[in-house]
Amino acid sequence: MEAYTKLVLVALVVAMAFGSEPVEAAFGQSICGMTTDGLMSCKPSVAAGVNPLPAPTPACCSALSKADMQCLCSFKSSSLLPTLGVDPDLAMQLPAKCNLVQSVIHC
């Protein structure tokens, strides 16, 4: 049963990362306190293999300021982020880049 729960969670995260409106309507509009729009606004700043990386946008930083950082930590070692083109190390640097010192992730 636990494996099924993890599979559902991973599927939900993937669907939300791509902005699936039916999933948002069924399960709410956020993950770890970040809306799909917030997640998508941060994606260019954490894209794997992009050089130079753009600075996080005000929309990204605003969304990140409302996020549950411990919840986001649970995705740091996940193989999900790289499959979505997200560099987990860059993602962990976002709070500092947004000057959210109180929200710096210590996973």
Place of tokens 């740091």: 76
How many domains, in total, are found in the chain? 1
Side chain identity at 62, as an amino acid letter? S
Residue 2 burial (CB count, 10 A):
6
CATH number for the domain spanning 45: value is 1.10.110.10
Per-residue pLDDT reduced to its tens digit, 18-60: 444 444 444 456 788 988 899 999 999 999 888 888 999 999 9
Q: Domain range for residue 94?
A: 2-103
For 31, phi and psi rounded to 5 degrees? Answer: -135, 130
70 pLDDT above the threshold of 60: yes
Distance CA 58, CA 46 (A): 15
Q: Point out the least confidently predicted range of 5-19, 72-86, 93-107.
A: 5-19
How confident is the model over 86-97, as a mean pLDDT?
90
CA distances from residue 33 to 2, 37, 57, 70 in whole angstroms, order as listed: 23, 12, 18, 11
